[in-house]
Amino acid sequence: MTFLVATDGSAVSDTAVEHAAHEASTWETSLQVVHVLTPETEFVDGNLVLPGEAEAIEHGERTLEQAEQVAAETAADHDTEIEIETELLAGRPAESIAEYAEKADVRGIYVGHRGFSDKREQVVGSVAKTVVDKATVPVTIIK
């Protein structure tokens, strides 16, 4: 049995990581932490180009490292140690999270109720809502 938590590095995501790590500690199971890169592509001279790819990957890896640390500290606060795996995904966040959860055979998904967005007012909660719609396992939305 394993749980999955998705993070974008926001404070709400950190809270979701803490909650998921607490649950993993309680159930003595592992935790998988994912971050989804949402690359914006451009056409340059007729070719599809991904600007800032290296920077996006570096940021994603830092986000996962931060979440892994939060999870480990949370488990330690509960006098336990859990196995934590991280994975960098790419694509549409909700779809990528739901697909990964199904392939990884997780028992539950934890997500923050909202995260970072350039269009915050238009998409608040849209990722969490879509994960609920697309997931085949229970989803816990953390506020």
| Long-range pairs for 132-136: beta carbons < 8 A, 24 or more residues apart | 133/94, 134/94, 134/95, 134/98, 135/97, 135/98, 135/101, 135/102, 135/109, 136/98, 136/101, 136/102
- Whether the per-residue pLDDT at 25 is higher than 50: the answer is yes
Q: Strand 47-49 relative to strand 42-44: parallel, antiparallel, unpaired? A: antiparallel
Question: 90 has which bridge partners?
Answer: 37
DSSP state letter for 78: T
The per-residue pLDDT for 12 is 94
What confidence score (pLDDT) does residue 56 get? 86
Q: Tens digit of pLDDT for each residue in 87-142?
A: 999 999 999 999 999 999 999 999 998 765 544 434 446 899 999 999 999 999 99
User: Closest Cα partner for 8 from 134, 128, 130, 139?
Assistant: 128
3 state SS of 122:
helix
- pLDDT value at residue 48: 62
pLDDT in tens, 41-87: 666 777 766 667 788 889 999 999 999 999 999 999 999 999 999 99
**Structure confidence at residue 43 (pLDDT):** 67
What is 2-142's CATH topology? Rossmann fold (3.40.50)
CA distance 73 to 78: 9
